[in-house]
Structure 1
Amino acid sequence: MSAGIPPWLSHYEKEVPASLDYPDIPLHTYLENAYKCYPDHTAIYFMGKTMTYRELFHDMQLFSRVLQQLGVKKGDRVAIMLPNCPQAVIAYYAVLHIGAVAVLTNPMYKKRELEHQLADSGAKIIVCLDLVYSNVVSVLPRTDLEHIVVTAIKDYLPFPKNVMYPLKLRKEGVKLHIPREPYVSYWDDLMKQPDLPELEKPYIDSKEDLALLQYTGGTTGLSKGVMLTHANLVANVEQARAWFHRSRRGAECILAVLPFFHVYGMTAVMNFAILLAAKMVLIPKFDLATVLKTVNRLRPTMFPGAPPMYVALINHPDLKKYDIRSIKACISGAAPLPREVQERFEAITGGRLVEGYGLTEASPVTHANPIWGRRKNGSIGLPFPDTEAKVVDSETGEEVPQGEVGELIVRGPQVMRGYWNQPEESDNALRDGWLYTGDMATMDEDGYFYIVERKKDVIVASGFNVYPREVEEVLYEHEAVKECTVAGIPDEYRGETVKAYIVLKEKKDVSAEELEAFCRERLAAFKVPRKYEFRDELPKALTGKVLRRVLVEEEKKRMQETRD
């Protein structure tokens, strides 16, 4: 990108400014503002239970006092291991409210992953669901944890669901044994204490003080703790509000299917909703029938998600029974958005679905297509306000000519401070203020960016670079393909071979030979998959992102067993 005005600015919607004035406030101030301006508006809808902003703010302050009583001080790390439920929102904002640092932890973690995250962060307290207590207590001796706060889904269910829920668990054979130990407290008991000490509100420097340690797999080794300040998170949510310029404060309803423990759901759903004083409809786990019924009944206006969620929705056999036309704007992240999915979703809802891009190290959003302006198929869109981006040679850092492939690097107010206790990794990722994303990309003449592939996911077959996304886009054009992913599997002759994993639409059929012929008409020979595997489903993270590495690991294991 040559010096001067970045080309993308001329393609911003006229309502979106190139630069913003960011309030110098801690992130949790947004919840206080929502309470003051819209105290009686619904903040949360959860399985029939509603909470107003007055009630949410009250419970947040109450849990802030609970945490201080348990000894949490400014700068201490508090882990939150919860699905999307009221307690997750309350605990998150309470931790920030007292100057502590939230460590959002996936409830699906196995013991090894959980132990690493808790030990590395030095978390002092964890708030967890009763269903995962056994995993937490098993790693307790090898962490700095001093206290476990246990809560249950039933704690915020309306009557009679709160009574029926334990019966349902027993019927399913779920047995929970949580002993009365000094280091264990129950959420309900803590929130009903009569004489909690007065809240001590420490001074928080939004630019210097950490709000979040968010763990990411990164490109190598064990997950790293991304250090995000209050200012980082405030900047990203303000950028999102500017991008969604038609959003109305106090009038939106956001479907909260993306998990809050993932940085995408945390910013694009929870923080964004609180900033807008919107109603959040919390869904703990993506279940298509539940989503369709909820949209039909509660009429959400926004549905941030991931491509597999939209794929599942548009292919549901009973979709015509539901009215989902309340949805007016969606941003899709975590994985590439196929053009066919985008077009069909918009035709069904009448709303807008655009692809965006981000990474944990940037709070996370750095790019998005204009919601109501010009978007380009296959593009992640334009950099957010105050966000610089360019494509460079990974080794030299020199900018590559327009249209050529290089590593995407970004710089902006949402970019992390660094990795927790990992100065060398921080120096490698952050150079002169630029974040090296690890994603290979191109930029066109208008300043629209295109992710070609992650550096680690590029397939090298017989010396040629094959970018899985390009092949996947072609496969999605076939009328029988519902979902697909492409990976490079070991090959003694070619180094790697391109393999496609396919999920077919209901009542559709196609052979590997037919798919190969279809691809050969549209792709250079070296890009055409040599192998095809038809599956009922693809392995996915809770965000909906397909776990390509799991498929590659399965392949390597099969090959090893064959040799043995």
Structure 2
Amino acid sequence: MSASAQGYVAAELARGGYQNVHDLLSQACATHPQRTAFSCGDDHLTYAELGSRADAFARYLRYHAGLQPGDRLALQLPNCLQYPIAVFGALKAGLVIVNTNPQYTAAEARHQFHDSGAKAILVLDRLLPLVRAVQADTELQQIILTSVDDLQQPIYESQEDGTLRFMQALRLGEQRSPVQREAGLDRLALLQYTGGTTGVSKGAMLTHRNLLANVLQTIELFDQPGLLEPEKDVRIAPLPLYHIMAFATNCLSSVGMGLHTVFIRDGRNLDETIGAMQRHPFSLLSGINTLFVGLMNHPEFRRIDFSHLKWATSGGAPLNSEVGRRWQALTGAPIREGFGLTEASPVVATGTQLSPYREGYIGQALIETELRTVDDEGNDVPPETPGELWLRGPQVMQGYWQRPDETAKVLTPDGWLKTGDIALLDADGFVKIVDRKKDMILVSGFNVFPNEIEDVLMQHPSVRECVAVGVPDARKGEAVKVFVSLKDDTVDERALLEHCRQYLTGYKMPSFLELRDELPKTAVGKLLRRQLRDEASAAAS
């Protein structure tokens, strides 16, 4: 989509009277209240039910929990119907959402809770021990517990001291007077944590304007007769909502478009995903390379009815071209690849059913999104020439939470965001990602930063030096490989991996570990990461 229509987002915000992300839900409730908004397993919520419960949660947060606009609420949940209830309720009350991976270790969760200053958390009840372990190092005061099947089999009384059950919070909220939604497009709405080249997790500050802009930019892609049919279209959504892509597309944009979205509790559970695809006449599917490979290898895949499928969307990790070709041959529908990043709310460029398809390219920029490719001095490079991709648009973050120095490294004074990705732009604005300027490893759509893994390994007393790199992986896109030199021979690969397992979330775990007597270095003693990455990639190929 051409980026030439400057002023489009501002005009749409004014036309719709948007002042809060919650307005997406208000409009959906007014337009199609009895349409199913979200379903998960055997349970579902209509838009009217979602609106009512989100309103009750907003009342609880303000009147019972005593939280004020600007306070942060952490969510540490798998995909479930409680997620959109909490999101739209908290945003209506003026709170700031902090999405947190439920697979985090205590160290990872402690950093995010402490850094964000979250005062309350809605967490899956089985994760309470983790929250308890880090609470003293945070500002967490309110702990709200929920179970996966809370809406089907509600629990109102908590057996844990100092906690409240989610269903009781809704019950308490229902007894209070309505909360007027907090207006202000430039109010902070979301702290979405991402990594940095140093491995330090930073909170990208996304406002209501940023998130709404990206929703409106995405909706504009489908502004063609018959392309999107809100009263008919069903989206299968396996990706986790704590990931920015799924949060923005499968939660916010789905409501903005009036879709019925089917959450998969655990996208790694292919049986669950296949079951949902067999039960629902779905027309849209969002996933990543890993998911598409797994689905096509599932024995039940060929029994799915794909006659309603318009297209699948791939994002969060590069799509393998052979995977895309095989998918279309088996289903008759294409996979359209998109590109985005946390700092851009997140969608930047994508293809649609109407876009010309170019293998290896990820489509064109969303409306009112400017792209440029530059050299190391920030000078524009010619079309089809590799350069660092910079972007500018209304979806670009305000900066990193309490990190002005880090913000200054990626945001220019005139609003350009430096992505750190090496890309090609052709004369028609199609984008091709060539490589990453950073050393980040992308595992199943999740950012993994080498320094974080190396820091963990270096805590082992037997490790002398180590380097972590990404290697091609047909299922995950990339996998982590570490090269290690030891001080002594008292440990082996298995012991080192067990050490990593104590400190790293599953997707950050090394898939390969190679012991070497010495690691290659420059003349001044700097470890040659690129040489090791090239060796590992060649071996993987």
TM-score, length-normalised on structure 2?
Answer: 0.79
CA shift for structure 1 position 202:
5.3
Q: Deviations over 1:153-183 (max 9, x none)?
A: 12123xxxx49xx9xxxxxxxxxx97532x3
- Following TM superposition, by how much is the alpha carbon of 1:90 offset from its aligned partner in structure 2, in angstroms? 0.3
Letter of the 2:409 counterpart: N
Whole-Å separation in 2 of the counterparts to 1:187 and 1:262: 22
Alpha-carbon distance change, 30 to 562 in structure 1, aligned in 2, over 3 angstroms? closer
2:423 corresponds to 1:433:
no
Q: Secondary structure at the match of 1:372?
A: coil
Aligned mates of 1:257, 1:317 — CA distance in 2:
18
Q: Match for residue 229 of structure 1?
A: 207
Of 198, 201, 217, which residue of structure 1 is paired with 2:180? 201
1:220 to 198, 213, 228: 198
Give the distance between the partners of 2:216 and 2:101, measured in 1 at CA: 26
Displacement of 1:47 in angstroms is: 1.1
Query: Is 2:513 aligned against 1:555?
Result: yes
- For 1:410, the equivalent position in structure 2 comes to 391
Q: What is the Cα deviation at residue 250 of structure 1?
A: 3.1
The answer to whether the 8 A contact 2:56-2:174 is kept is no
| Counterpart-to-counterpart distance in 2, 1:559 and 1:300 | 50
Residue correspondence of structure 1 range 27-106 to structure 2 within 5 A:
27-68=21-62, 69-106=64-101
CA distance in 2 between partners of 1:541 and 1:339 (Å) = 29
> 1:187 — aligned with what?
166
Determine the C-alpha separation between the residues in 2 that align with 1:487 and 1:118.
Answer: 26
Tell me the residue number matched to 1:238: 216
Rounded to whole Å, the distance in 1 between the matches of 2:221 and 2:408 is 31
Aligned to 1:23: 13
Q: Given the superposition, is the C-alpha separation of residues 19 and 350 from structure 1 closer, same or farther in structure 2, using an over 3 Å criterion?
A: farther
Residue of structure 2 in register with 1:283 after alignment:
264
**What are structure 2's unaligned runs of at least 5 residues?**
442-468, 486-503, 521-541
In the other structure, the counterpart of 1:262 is 243
Aligned to 1:305: 287
Aligned-partner Cα distance in 1 for 2:476–2:167: 43
Match of 1:119 in 2: 114
User: Equivalent pairs: percent with the same residue?
Assistant: 34
Pairwise CA distance, 1:50: 2.0
Between the aligned partners of 1:412 and 1:221, the Cα distance in structure 2 is: 26
Give the direction of change, closer, same or farther, for the CA distance of 1:425–1:300 in structure 2 (3 Å limit): same
Letter aligned with residue 329 of structure 1: W
Contact 1:84 1:256 in 2 (8 A): no
- How do residues 377-416 of structure 1 correspond to structure 2 at under 5 angstroms? 377-394=359-376, 396-416=377-397
Spell out, residue by residue over 1:1-24, the C-alpha distance to the aligned partner (whole angstroms, 9 max, x if none): xxxxxxx739x9xxx999453314
Q: Describe the shift of the 1:423–1:76 C-alpha distance in structure 2 as closer, same or farther (beyond 3 A).
A: same
* Aligned-partner SS, 1:418: coil
Tell me the alpha carbon deviations over residues 497-533 of structure 1, each in whole angstroms, 9 at most, x when there is no partner: xxxxxxxxxxxxxxxxxxxxxxxxxxxxxxxxxxxxx
Q: 2:296 aligns with which of 314, 321, 326?
A: 314
**For the residues of structure 2 that align with 1:254 and 1:355, how far apart are their CA atoms?**
16
Partner AA of 2:513 in structure 1: E
What is aligned with 2:135? 140
Query: 1:525 matched to which residue of 2?
Result: none
1:91-111 CA distances to partner (integer Å, 9 max, x unpaired)? 011110011111111111110
Superimposed CA distance per residue, residues 316-351 of structure 1 (whole angstroms, 9 cap, x where no aligned partner): 233222223322122211111111211221222222
How big is each residue's C-alpha offset from its partner over 1:282-341, in whole Å with a ceiling of 9 and x where there is no partner? 111012122122112111211111111111112223322222332212221111111121
1:151-550 to 2 correspondences below 5 Å: 151-157=146-152, 162=153, 179-181=159-161, 183-193=162-172, 196-201=175-180, 203-206=182-185, 208-245=186-223, 246-286=227-267, 287-394=269-376, 396-431=377-412, 432-457=414-439, 485=478, 550=509
SS at match of 1:425: helix
Which SS does the other structure have where 1:404 is aligned?
Answer: coil
Q: Is the 8 A contact 2:58 2:179 kept in 1?
A: no
Q: Return closer, same or farther for 1:290/1:561 CA change in 2, 3 Å cut-off.
A: farther
2:123 aligned with 1:128: yes
In structure 1, how many angstroms separate the alpha carbons of the residues matched to 2:270 and 2:174?
44
Match of 2:451 in 1: none
Q: Is the 8 A contact 2:105 2:505 kept in 1?
A: no
CA distance 1:194–1:332, shift in 2 (3 Å): closer
Secondary structure of the corresponding residue to residue 210 of structure 2? helix
Question: How much does 1:279 deviate?
Answer: 1.1
1:118: how far off?
Answer: 0.6
Q: Return the letter of the residue paired with 2:126.
A: L
- Which residue identity is paired with 1:555? L
Q: Does the CA contact (< 8 Å) of 1:250 and 1:276 recur in 2?
A: no
The residue type paired with residue 379 of structure 2 is E
